Amino acid sequence: MGPPIAGSALLTNAVGLHARPSVKLTQVAKRFTSRIEFALDPAGPWADAKSPVKVMRVKAAKGSTLHFRVSGPDAAEALATMLALVEHRFGEEPPAAGPAERQEKRYRGRPAAPGAALGELVVIGDAQRERIGTGDPALEASALQAALAAAVGDLRRLVNGSCGPAAEIVGFQIAFLEDAALAERAFAAIAGGEPAHEAWLASMSAEAGAYESSDDDYFRARVSDVRDIRDRVLAHLTGGIADTRVPAGAIVAAVDLPPSLFLAIDWSRGGALALTGGSTTSHVAMLARARGVPALVGLGVPVGELRGQALLCASRGLLILDPGPEELAAFERDVRAEAAEREAAAEVVTAQAATRDGTLIRVSINVAAEEELDSIDPAICDGIGLVRTEFLFHGRERLPSEEIQYACYRRIAEWAQGRRVTIRTLDAGGDKPIPGLTLDRERNPFLGMRGLRLSLAAPDIFRHQLRALARAAVHGDVKVMLPMVTMPHELERARAMLDDEVAALRAAGVAVRRPALGIMIEVPAAAIAADMFEAAEFFSIGSNDLTQYVAAAGRDSSAPAVADLADPTQPAVLRLIHHVVDVAAARGVEASLCGDAGGDPAAIPLLLAAGLRSLSVAPAMVGRAKLTIAGIDLRELAGPGAGMTSWRR
């Protein structure tokens, strides 16, 4: 049985869920074989919708929201029926105000992570919603007071019981919010007649401006904290959801989502992601694939239109609002297809990947956050092909020290239990800005100071990372990989720095091992002239960036025409990959691929044909990748016309 699907409806009939409606609810629920439960809170406790006693015990009054979770073979139809029953007041009274006619609307997006979901759309990061002030300064002041308190409550819940950098950052925000000085200006403006939201927005924009214009990098980096606080309070004032306690099974809609916000959402209860902007190779898309959250990007519709019940089907690239019976039936087929794929993938996930003719293929995983490893069994992979160390540098008060980095790299190396772990040095810049480190006002950051270029320009920071990596290499088969390498002299400089640091640590009696040093091939110059990188001990092809640079089609673009060009399987990219594989073979070093194409069932056969024998993919894609490598057509597993063939169209 697949994961439950969820949805919610407002109870508007006069008597709430009393005797007659309760009985009706259970009668209707019993028509389905699925398990149907409901609760007043998305976190439970859950009541069996087929038991009148249990339904009555919930004592749901008029005005409560009933949250349903349903699992079983007819789950989609059951959920839609239960929601309709509540919305139509159990057939006793006229339906609540609102359009009586179902209004199915369809939006096309680009699949960014496989899967299908049916649920309530919840727009997040939508803090700029309209609010009309009451005109009464006392009421406005208490609205702001309440919003400040609610924001503190959110943050406390967010760090509840945790420690480490996240708790430190949030602790800082709480201290800020609790300081009366923060809202002084806003309260003064409210006393002068301004509505609370405008007063708050203006005063916090001034606060952020003061940090922005600071000469000190550290203070400039606080701007994002101030904006975060501003938006959280503003969302409470305007009724938008700024925190990440979205109801179970919701389809989270946003223009784009910062990776930190994605990570803060509890996806274990189902749900999906619908971005009106974004791109399939953005970091949030990668996280969605890693966590197995179905996702569409580039829907190209004002996010405000995304309301109500919706059905998201990644394989068809469709988001359907208010879906009708036909769509619900198709959804059930998709869910079954997904489940068939997932089951087949689970069966092979720990097996050694091999093609039909018996050629062994290394399948490693990409890791973008240390916590991802908590729920992954190392036996599913041949190692880690890419650790994106940017996660250590994001959202911190200060850049991570050598000790913090060493502890983290060591944990990752030990997790792998002797398997190979390739850790990439910091790849900041481009779509991965780090306040206080990357340049703020680059016109074209993808062609600017990113990756190794930035590390070489900030040697002190780079040396800390190299030292931490050399120390961690004592605890496992650690290799180090340099991002965005363009010319051999960059590699040579980095190599000299690594050798210096290893020698210095050794001289100081610190346990170290000189890790193998390789380069990413993601700049066309490095791909074309791969033979010139004589010092590279391995190559790893970054197809995400290589594709955008070869096709001159930005990986962050949501324009369909551009997105279609950013295709890693187009001949120019494949030829370059082939060339790099040949150069590596001639030099006797390994060439692997760690871009997202490695986990895409539509791309894998072409990558193998280009000579690759080592792929590193999102953890959730490992089983599917192994099936595809073995020549198994995922569509056949799920039956004709169904199934996930590619998250990228």
| Residues within the interface to Mg ion (CB under 5 A) | 522, 542, 545
Least distance (Å) from ligand PEP to the CB of residue 539?
13
CB of 557 closer than 8 Å to CB of 534? no
CB of 276 closer than 8 Å to CB of 307? no
> Per CB under 6 A, does 544 bind ligand PEP?
yes
Least distance (Å) from Mg ion to the CB of residue 253?
27
Burial of 130 (0-12, 13-18, 19+ CB in 10 A): exposed
Residue 25 CA to residue 515 CA, distance in Å, equals 64
Cβ contacts of residue 322 below 8 Å, gap of 6+?
102, 103, 104, 105, 308, 309, 310
Q: Which partner from the list ligand PEP, Mg ion, none does 595 bind, CB cut-off 5 to 8 Å by kind? A: ligand PEP
CA distances from 238 to 39, 41, 196 (A): 26, 22, 10
Residue 155 CA to residue 327 CA, distance in Å, equals 39
> Per CB under 6 A, does 372 bind ligand PEP?
no
| Shorter beta-carbon distance to Mg ion: residue 199 or 615 | 615
| Shorter beta-carbon distance to ligand PEP: residue 199 or 273 | 273
Q: Which partner from the list ligand PEP, Mg ion, none does 594 bind, CB cut-off 5 to 8 Å by kind? A: ligand PEP
| Residue of 269, 377, 387, 371 lying closest to 622 (CA atoms) | 377
Least distance (Å) from ligand PEP to the CB of residue 441?
21
Q: What is the CA radius of gyration of the chain?
A: 26
> Per CB under 6 A, does 567 bind ligand PEP?
no
| Whether the bond into 45 is cis, omega within 30 of 0 | yes
Q: Is 18 a catalytic residue?
A: no
Contacting residue, 545, 567, 590, 600, with ligand PEP by CB under 6 A: 545
Q: Which partner from the list Mg ion, ligand PEP, none does 438 bind, CB cut-off 5 to 8 Å by kind? A: none
| Shorter beta-carbon distance to ligand PEP: residue 334 or 522 | 522
| Shorter beta-carbon distance to ligand PEP: residue 303 or 622 | 622
| Shorter beta-carbon distance to Mg ion: residue 471 or 648 | 648
Q: Which partner from the list ligand PEP, Mg ion, none does 502 bind, CB cut-off 5 to 8 Å by kind? A: none
Contacting residue, 594, 634, 638, 642, with ligand PEP by CB under 6 A: 594
Cβ contacts of residue 460 below 8 Å, gap of 6+?
none
Among the listed ranges 235-243, 406-414, 459-467, 536-544, the one in contact with ligand PEP (CB under 6 A) is 536-544
Phi and psi dihedrals of 383, rounded to 5?
A: 140, -170
The pattern of x and - marking residues 407 through 446 that bind ligand PEP according to CB under 6 A reads: --------------------x-------------------
Lookup: tokens for 522: 């993601």
Residue 618 CA to residue 280 CA, distance in Å, equals 13
The pattern of x and - marking residues 100 through 139 that bind ligand PEP according to CB under 6 A reads: ----------------------------------------
Least distance (Å) from ligand PEP to the CB of residue 522?
5
Residue 544 CA to residue 177 CA, distance in Å, equals 40
Lookup: tokens for 20: 């007659």
CB of 237 closer than 8 Å to CB of 197? yes
Q: Which partner from the list Mg ion, ligand PEP, none does 388 bind, CB cut-off 5 to 8 Å by kind? A: ligand PEP
> Per CB under 6 A, does 601 bind ligand PEP?
no
Lookup: tokens for 591: 């060439």
Beta strand 116-123 with 251-254 is parallel
Residue 593 CA to residue 613 CA, distance in Å, equals 9
Among the listed ranges 460-468, 491-499, 541-549, 600-608, the one in contact with ligand PEP (CB under 6 A) is 541-549
| Shorter beta-carbon distance to Mg ion: residue 37 or 490 | 490
| Shorter beta-carbon distance to ligand PEP: residue 364 or 543 | 543
Least distance (Å) from ligand PEP to the CB of residue 57?
51
Residue 624 CA to residue 626 CA, distance in Å, equals 5
| Shorter beta-carbon distance to ligand PEP: residue 470 or 550 | 550
| Shorter beta-carbon distance to Mg ion: residue 317 or 595 | 595
> Per CB under 6 A, does 648 bind ligand PEP?
no
Least distance (Å) from Mg ion to the CB of residue 616?
12
Contacting residue, 595, 619, 623, 643, with ligand PEP by CB under 6 A: 595
CB of 143 closer than 8 Å to CB of 271? no
Contacting residue, 126, 228, 256, 522, with ligand PEP by CB under 6 A: 522
From 313, 381, 408, 594, active-site residue: 594
Q: Is 464 a catalytic residue?
A: no
Q: Which partner from the list Mg ion, ligand PEP, none does 543 bind, CB cut-off 5 to 8 Å by kind? A: ligand PEP
Phi-psi region of 31 (alpha: psi -120 to 50; beta: other; left: phi over 0): alpha
| Shorter beta-carbon distance to Mg ion: residue 243 or 545 | 545
Lookup: tokens for 349: 């996930």
> Per CB under 6 A, does 13 bind ligand PEP?
no
Among the listed ranges 124-132, 305-313, 497-505, 543-551, the one in contact with ligand PEP (CB under 6 A) is 543-551
User: DSSP letter at 604?
Assistant: H
| Shorter beta-carbon distance to ligand PEP: residue 55 or 620 | 620
User: DSSP letter at 232?
Assistant: H
Among the listed ranges 61-69, 260-268, 308-316, 538-546, the one in contact with ligand PEP (CB under 6 A) is 538-546
CB of 38 closer than 8 Å to CB of 67? yes
Least distance (Å) from Mg ion to the CB of residue 493?
20
From 283, 394, 475, 579, active-site residue: 283
Helix-strand-coil split of the chain, %, nearest 5: 45, 15, 35
Least distance (Å) from ligand PEP to the CB of residue 483?
7
Residue 609 CA to residue 108 CA, distance in Å, equals 31
Among the listed ranges 219-227, 404-412, 540-548, 624-632, the one in contact with ligand PEP (CB under 6 A) is 540-548
Least distance (Å) from Mg ion to the CB of residue 5?
35
Burial of 560 (0-12, 13-18, 19+ CB in 10 A): middle
How many alpha carbons lie under 13 Å from residue 535 in its C-beta half-sphere? 17
CB of 466 closer than 8 Å to CB of 476? no
Residue 467 CA to residue 644 CA, distance in Å, equals 43
Contacting residue, 244, 543, 614, 628, with ligand PEP by CB under 6 A: 543
Lookup: tokens for 353: 């990947």
Q: Taking CB under 6 A as the criterion, which residues in 377-406 touch ligand PEP?
A: 386, 388
| Residue of 568, 517, 577 lying closest to 541 (CA atoms) | 577
Least distance (Å) from Mg ion to the CB of residue 283?
10
Residues labelled as active-site residues: 283, 594
- Which residues of the chain form contacts with ligand PEP (CB under 6 A)? 386, 388, 427, 522, 542-545, 594-595
